[in-house]
């Protein structure tokens, strides 16, 4: 998921001179808002959202340019269920809207998703969907490096992508963290294809 730093930094650098911004729906089991001072693992793929919001090592922040690539009010994280205690303070401080799996279960996935998409498309040119396959439950997406039980179902994951298309505001997308060596008979690879074509507009009827 570290590639999102480059993807969204590039978008932000293009939009910045026009005074415009991009919204982001970040599907992930994690919030990816660690910094070198808080990370338990040292992995950069646990830091991209923090970097895009202006926190992290200068070598990565420089990719975004003179100011953060994203604004917290334009970001919705979907499916979080494994947030490091050391990174939680930054999540709370910045006010990024995180829809945990507990909240999706309590309130219902559909209303939470509609709210999340409304948030990121307000005051922006549209949305970028950054989809980490570990946001999906390992039963449906085993081929990931950091599986966490209790994630989005296959149907909920497809709903995210169908809604992204339905907004008519999808401007970019990445599907990340597929690890074929950990997959089971290409189960996760096939799911990734279904999700991508759903986001691009494939419908049942």
User: Catalytic one among 132, 137, 156, 183?
Assistant: 132
User: Catalytic one among 55, 87, 128, 134?
Assistant: 134
User: Catalytic one among 87, 156, 177, 183?
Assistant: 177
User: Catalytic one among 30, 55, 74, 165?
Assistant: 30
User: Catalytic one among 21, 32, 55, 74?
Assistant: 32
- Clarify whether 105 is annotated catalytic: no
CA distances to 135, 141, 181, 197 from 146, in Å: 10, 11, 13, 24
Give yes or no for a contact between 104 and 112, defined as CB atoms under 8 angstroms apart: yes
- Clarify whether 55 is annotated catalytic: no
- Clarify whether 82 is annotated catalytic: no
- Clarify whether 45 is annotated catalytic: yes
Q: Extract the runs of DSSP E, i.e. beta strands, from the chain.
A: 23-27, 75-80, 97-100, 127-132, 170-176
Give yes or no for a contact between 119 and 23, defined as CB atoms under 8 angstroms apart: yes
- Clarify whether 165 is annotated catalytic: no
DSSP conformation class of 200: T
- Clarify whether 74 is annotated catalytic: no
Within a 13 Å sphere around the CA of 121, how many CA atoms are in the beta-carbon half? 19
- Clarify whether 137 is annotated catalytic: no
Rounded Cα distance between 157 and 180, Å, is 19
Catalytic residues: 1, 28, 30, 32, 45, 132, 134, 177
């Amino acid at each position: 998921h570290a590639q999102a730093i480059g993807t969204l930094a590039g978008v932000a650098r293009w939009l910045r001179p026009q005074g415009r911004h991009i919204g982001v729906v970040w599907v992930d089991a994690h919030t990816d808002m660690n910094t070198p001072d808080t990370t338990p693992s040292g992995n950069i793929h646990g830091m991209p959202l923090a970097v895009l919001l202006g926190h992290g090592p200068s070598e990565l922040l420089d990719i975004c340019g003179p100011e953060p690539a994203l604004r917290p009010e334009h970001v919705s994280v979907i499916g979080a269920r494994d947030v490091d205690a050391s990174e939680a303070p930054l999540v709370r401080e910045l006010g990024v809207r995180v829809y945990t799996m507990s909240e999706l279960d309590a309130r219902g996935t559909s209303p939470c998703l509609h709210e999340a998409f409304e948030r990121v498309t307000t005051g922006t040119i549209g949305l970028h969907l950054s989809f980490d396959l570990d946001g999906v439950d390992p039963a449906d997406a085993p081929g990931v490096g950091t599986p966490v039980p209790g994630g989005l179902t296959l149907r909920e994951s497809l709903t995210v992508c169908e809604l992204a298309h339905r907004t008519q505001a999808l401007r970019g997308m990445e599907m990340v963290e597929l690890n074929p060596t950990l997959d089971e008979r290409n189960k996760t690879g096939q799911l990734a294809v279904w999700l991508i074509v759903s986001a691009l507009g494939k419908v049942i009827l």
